Structure 1
Amino acid sequence: MFKSLHPNIRLRLCVTFLSRLSGSMIFPFIAIYFSRELGTTVAGGIVMTQVTVELLASFVGGYWADRIGRKPLLVIGECLNAFAFLGMLLANSLWWSSAGVTFAMLLLIGIATGLLNPAADAMLIDVSTKETRTYMYSINYWTRNISLMLGLMVGGWFFQNHLFGLLFVLFSMSLITLTITLLFIRETYDRHHPVTVPASNGLHAVLSSYRTVVRDIPFVWFTLGGIAIYALEFQRVNFISIRLEHEIAARTVRLFDFPPFTLDGVKLMSLLTVENTLLIVLLVSFAAKLIRNRSEQPVMYVGFTLFGLGYAYLAFSNQIAGLFLAVIVLTIGELLYVPTRQTMLASIVDESKRGSYMAFNGLVVQVGKMFGALGLFVGGLVGDIGMGLLYLLFAIMAIGLSRLGYVKWNRQTKAMKMPAAIIKS
């Protein structure tokens, strides 16, 4: 079935795999770099600034993707990435080191990512059909996880002492992805489609474009449902990881005939993360076949439920076997809801403003990260059991808000298709 996908989809999957593979060797550890060079407080501020810049750039990128097309934004983003990676390479070479230049290049990477991601998301929708989207998003999810896993393994081993070599790989990969984008990816933007974005190009025009998106009530409800589920996603690296670090005492563990090793909360969290990633890599193809040709709504709601149950158990339990079982449960939920939610999202966005809609949908991840950080504060107030109940509430909210948005969109769509005479009666 992979060969039946549009060539742009196959190329974007390859580009995404290469970019994430090389990027995950470095960027998950970038806070460690700035903490070592400038201090922990400054490092936190730098990471937050980069996230903010990327979010703002994504709104501009989404707007322009609906005005000049998808490919120009992809090419601009890849060019900026290549330039930024070269700057980071030179600023961390054997003859020169500059944390300030590295920070500036990191901001440029945030701008590049914000510009190209909405265009890339819109392009995938442009050249896919309702029948192929679930499969497409399942494969995209698989490539994301396997590239992340491989990149983290390489980066964790070489980041501390071989940063220059990793940056050279990152820069080389960026040249490859730029070449693929420039020479082989075709424009998918329909210039004959009625344009609904403003004719001017200033800040007011950008804001006016997104004002229309915000007024799309079904889409907003659906987005809020996504925020609720992503608020759970980012608890793992916040409240849950800190809780396990504090509550799981170091102990000697022996598995089968392997040599005994010491297991503490931090190592346990790493093992749970590896389990989650491996399960996704191994089962995503099976899950894609399982949910193919099935109604997306019930599959997504089951996924939300399993995801919430798994995280609720992680919030309070210290039983190691139970924690590993909970990860299996939440991973199954993840495999069910991720492709089905993406497929439903692709259906409800306005075709003439896909770039803007996908940029706005980026709030799901960014606001989810904020809720993840707030989990540290809330956990201190309500305790482990309280957090588990809160996670279940978030899952219920994800189901309710997503269903509300999708049902409203369905009703609007049916009403628009009704003959005018019937509507007036």
Structure 2
Amino acid sequence: MKNQITNALSDFFFEYETPRQVLVRNRRVGVVCRLIQLGVLAYIIGWVFIYEKGYQSTDTAVSSVFTKMKGVGYTNVSGSERVWDVADYVFPPQGDSSFVVMTNYIITEGQKMGKCPELKGKHNCNSDSDCEGGSFKRQMTGVCVEGTKTCEVLAWCPVEDDHNIPDPPLLMSAENYTLFIKNSVTFPLFGVTRSNLVEGIDADYISKCLHDPKKAPLCPIFRLGDIVKLSGFSFETIARVGGAIGIVVDWTCNLDVDVKHCKPQYNFHGLYGNPAETDKARASVGYNFRYAKHYMEDRIQKRTLLKVFGIRFDIIVQSLARKFDIIPTLTAIGSGVGIFGVATVVCDLVLLYLLPKREFYKNMKFKYTDTHTQQDSESLGLDTSVYYTLDANARQAQGTDQSNDPDSEAGSTETEVSKK
């Protein structure tokens, strides 16, 4: 028992097992194998390393965005002239990455809290019984006003009339407003910080430049009309009822080269809908909200209500930095080497199941042992390898032909005997 345990441990620690290989000379199988290996090699080099940059590690940026609008608008509604500056037409005024620029509006001045008739066409009535409280969105007083045949409401009076949207938009001058974007990004993994005010973008350049995708792609000052045009829409159409536009600042950087080549790209996407689609086909058109300015007059609280139609701008920072790293490189190479095993699997399937001589190849690839053979060797007190050597020599002496017995061990037996 002790010797058996010692032999087992010795075999485990001091022996090396290697798989048996069979060299098959077959043109079709050889061509299939090389084509598969060539395809795997093309995948590893072309897709993994060149396209997917599998030899690099990646990181996304921590970003901050600051915006600033410039421009003055002018309106003349029913002889009432007014100038609109940034404080009037930008909501909210803090310079966030998401803001609205007013392009059209409906104004209702001098509203005060009280009782007044609803607009004609809304909440029509013939008697007070038609104006029961809680029947409509506004707070009803239960009175039907004879002059208008509408219900009396408790609200800010006079009530807003937003049926007719000004056309053309009142603030078409917004097309010439300018937007300044200041963006900073940091890639924590690589310790790299960049700003969209890259090398060459100084105060003198900014005071003169205007963004153009071809002539001035790095200029951070944008004309609103150009932004809308680049997003695929008509400014007049989107300015009338409002809309939404996404400005994407794309930082895709290869940090294996000089960091000065890490520069932003600006893209514009209309979030208003499909430019080819007519407004009548849309379920909800435009973008609007209400804004009130409260004041006191003769100790009575009043307000000026504006229904604002505008363009909502969402500035989205998109980032991806890459740099060489030995760990993903080795991982990509290891996975690629593993995929080379596909060629062996496919060729084995062809050899063992598709070719006419599949039984011959199967006998060459696999060795079979019978239980009675092992018992015979043990009864003679011989080692198994010696028994197989003697058995093979006996079969060879009897005229066994290797071409008729694909599993013949004559060649290997001769090598084994010569070594001994």
- Is TM (by shorter chain) over 0.5? no
Q: Which has the higher helix share?
A: 1
Quick one: higher RCO (CA 8 Å, sep 6+), 1 or 2? 1
**TM-score, normalised relative to structure 2:** 0.23
**TM-score, normalised relative to structure 1:** 0.23
